[in-house]
Chain A
């Protein structure tokens, strides 16, 4: 039972918005949704996280549905350097604060 489900790959044109979906239908009320990305041969990089409200930072926006069963990461103006594997994860609460990674989406930004 995957904790998060993401499409294995997506393409996006440079300069366009990249919308990466994630399904987390079994998320519990106190679990946060986190997004990370991993550029080849590097450690994962934090992007954004949220609970139930939409969030925005300098890197991206996170839209979480009202029922919290899915979310979308939006890169507003994708660049070639945004080509990476994007992971949607859930943060367990309490003493076991762990991130469980799914299989991720390989985003390829095309020139």
Chain B
């Protein structure tokens, strides 16, 4: 398994500000992802955090709005920039562990960071 710690667990932010969410894993992992879960909705993948290179963003998400760092195999940050009320969501860090040619590992999630933008 994997123990994933996210900080902050929740925050209330003002419009126009930026917030950085940290994700710490208790062991080295190759694959790390950031998801967003808007109120009452399912999870949407924001990006794959790549160690040593730029993150890979999904359609609808851009680096200027959601810059991601991945300095090593146990840590990543997601910044939500220039926030608006529409950014109010739970942001979840996840990691994939396990092996196999088809990547049949389990995806473990942190408890999420609940952001409210006023």
A residues touching B (Cβ–Cβ < 8 Å)?
30, 32, 34, 36, 42-46, 49, 51, 87, 91, 93-94, 96-104
Contact = CB atoms under 8 A, between A and B. Distances in A.
Interface residues of B, number: 24
Contacts, number: 54
Contacts of B111: 42-43
Q: Chain A interface secondary structure, helix, strand, loop or mixed?
A: loop
Contacts of A103: 42
A36 B105 CA distance: 13
Contacts of B102: 30, 32, 91, 93-94
B36 to A, nearest CB: 11
Contacts of B94: 43
B96 A102 contact: no
A98 B104 contact: no
Contacts of B31: 97
B109 A44 contact: yes
Contacts of B56: 96
A100 B112 contact: no
B60 interface: no
B83 interface: no
B43 A97 contact: no
Contacts of A91: 102-104
A87 B42 contact: yes
Given A87-B42, A102-B42, A103-B42, A97 B103 contact: yes
Given A87-B42, A91-B104, A93-B102, 5 more contacts: A34-B107, A43-B94, A51-B104, A96-B56, A100-B45
